[in-house]
Amino acid sequence: MSISVRTGRKRAVGAALAAVLLAGGAAGCGSEKGDKADKAGQDMSPAAAVKKAADKTEDLTSFTFRMKGTVPGDGRVQADASMSTEPLAMQMKMSAPDQGPEKMELRYVDGGIYLGGGKEAAKEMDGKSWIKFDAKAMEKAGGKSAATSASSQAENNPADQSTLLTGSKDLKKVGSESVGGVETTHYAGTVTLDQMRKLVEDEDAATKKRREKSIKQYEDMGVDKLEMDLWVDGEDHTKQFRARGKGDKGRLDMTITFLDYNKPVNVEAPPKSQVMDLSKEMKGLQD
């Protein structure tokens, strides 16, 4: 496989993984059971309602979601994914149209990140349709790649960014809306990174560390102020989350819609005969 092909494929997966970072730290999950918004919840203050939705996802162990939007510097991204936090595993089918027409599949299992490109990839890799990144090995080698970022971010609790929204000074209830056939209450507000940092000051050490990772995602993109929208269903779960902001390399506009949660997520590594391990080669490109 040529250097140009590898680099192009790496940029495409980098765009998708950048979106995963947002999803991994996003906001809980919505339940299809929430057909009607809770009347009592509608009477809460916006800050109390958003905090309640965040609190209910603290014990989240798995979720299925769909995301679509634009990442600064990488362009459009869309994906469907399932993730488990115990044990840590993820499976995602994705595309990054501005990086190329290829559709890819990403799997994170047993510390390895696998990227599959199907038959087209096999034509370029001696019949192998998957490439593997060893995130831990690359991190030890001093790499700061999309692979190591995804490994780190996947450990974050998905409630963290919805909690950051409670730092907004202009948080408001927009109204009732249907999202994927589920009735929800829509909240919106703006929040700066300084407000986010202040919000986590009094948290315990473990929670503070997780939430600071979420904040750093935006710092890395050059985003210092966010417009956030949150759609909460009748069971006080977040059904949908949207984050918008201006970064150093363009606009961030990502919407994550949650389809299910706390259901079994089984991710298997591809057969070894179909895998090309590119950890060393990718490190060379990175250097």
Per-residue pLDDT of the chain in tens (287 residues, 90 and over written 9)? 443 444 445 554 455 455 554 544 443 333 333 333 444 445 678 988 888 887 777 667 888 889 899 888 878 888 898 888 778 888 988 888 887 777 888 888 888 888 887 666 656 666 678 888 766 655 554 444 444 444 444 444 444 565 677 778 899 999 999 999 999 999 999 989 888 888 778 777 877 777 777 788 788 888 889 999 999 999 888 899 898 999 888 898 988 898 988 888 999 999 988 888 766 555 555 55
Which residues, 6 or more positions from 142, have their beta carbon under 8 angstroms from its beta carbon? Answer: none
Q: Per-residue b/e over 192-217, b at no fewer than 16 CB within 10 Å?
A: bbebbeebbeeeeeebeebbebbbeb
Q: Classify residue 115 by its DSSP letter.
A: E
Q: Which residue has the tokens 């179909």?
A: 274
Check: CB of residue 202 under 8 Å from CB of residue 50. no
The pLDDT assigned to 193 comes to 87
pLDDT for position 25: 43
CA dihedral over 56, 60, 63, 69, signed as positive or negative: positive
Q: Is 286 left (phi over 0), alpha (psi -120 to 50) or beta?
A: alpha
Confidence (pLDDT) at 279? 64
What residues are paired with 4 via a beta bridge? none
The per-residue pLDDT for 4 is 40
Domain 3-286: give its CATH code. 2.50.20.20
Measured CA to CA, the distance from residue 4 to residue 82 in angstroms comes to: 30
Strands 130-134 and 275-277, by their bridges, are parallel
Q: What are the b/e assignments for 75-111, b being 16+ CB within 10 Å?
A: bbbbbebbbbbeeebbbbebbbeebeebbbbbbbbee
**Of 104, 110, 88, 134, which Cα lies nearest the Cα of 19?**
104
pLDDT of residue 31: 36
The candidate with the shortest Cα–Cα distance to 54, out of 210, 156, 159, is 159
Q: Could you state, in order of their start, the residue ranges of all structural domains in the chain?
A: 3-286
